[in-house]
Amino acid sequence: MVPMCDIPIPIDGNEKIVRAVMKGSVNKSNTAVKPRIFRSRPGADEVSVIRHDYKGADFCKDHGRSRGADYVGLAVLLATQIRKVGSDVFDSRDEFCGHAHIAHGIVAATPNEPLSPLDNLKLDKKVEALGALASYYPDPDPTGEGWTGPSL
């Protein structure tokens, strides 16, 4: 039986969208994320994010800690910011309730090989813009339980 997910499917422009951030994905001064966190894995056009307004910061952190890499903090965007740069964000509850995907309209088709230069140019414009717009919240206690940083 599929568990209930009683949150609306449409994502409002004012919803906070959270991406878990791993070690090596933050600038040297630890104040901003590197744009590459908004690049998709190969063969897909989907960047995994969480609908914070319905799941909360603790859930976002737990999800980040469960990913098998060195979790260090959370990056937050508004849905409207994602859409303004020409990308989309949509509910993907088949992964879990509260999960969403950012899509850029560009797929890295071949593993271990580069995008075409034109696709890279288009994708860079989007992910650089998202990287600049995202608010980065370093986790004061990345290995501990629950979010203890400022409210997102």
Cβ closest to another protein, residue 143 vs residue 151: 143
Using alpha carbons only, what angle is made at residue 139 by residues 135 and 145, rounded to the nearest 5 degrees? 135
Q: Is 143 in the site for another protein (CB under 8 A)?
A: no
Instruction: Report d(CA 4, CA 38) in Å as an integer.
Output: 29
150 binds another protein (CB under 8 A): no
Residue 48 binding another protein, by CB under 8 A:
yes
Of 88 and 124, nearer to another protein (C-beta) is: 124
Pairwise CA distance, residues 46 & 64, whole Å: 17
Question: What count of other Cβ atoms lies within 10 Å of the Cβ of residue 24?
Answer: 11
Q: Which of 11, 18, 26, 37 binds another protein (CB under 8 A)?
A: 37
β-strands 47-51, 88-91: how paired? unpaired
Cβ-contact 40, 100 below 8 angstroms: no
> Is 132 among the residues that bind another protein (CB under 8 A)?
no
The binding site for another protein (CB under 8 A) comprises 20, 22, 24-25, 34, 36-37, 39-42, 47-48, 64, 67-69, 71, 108, 110-118, 120-121, 124
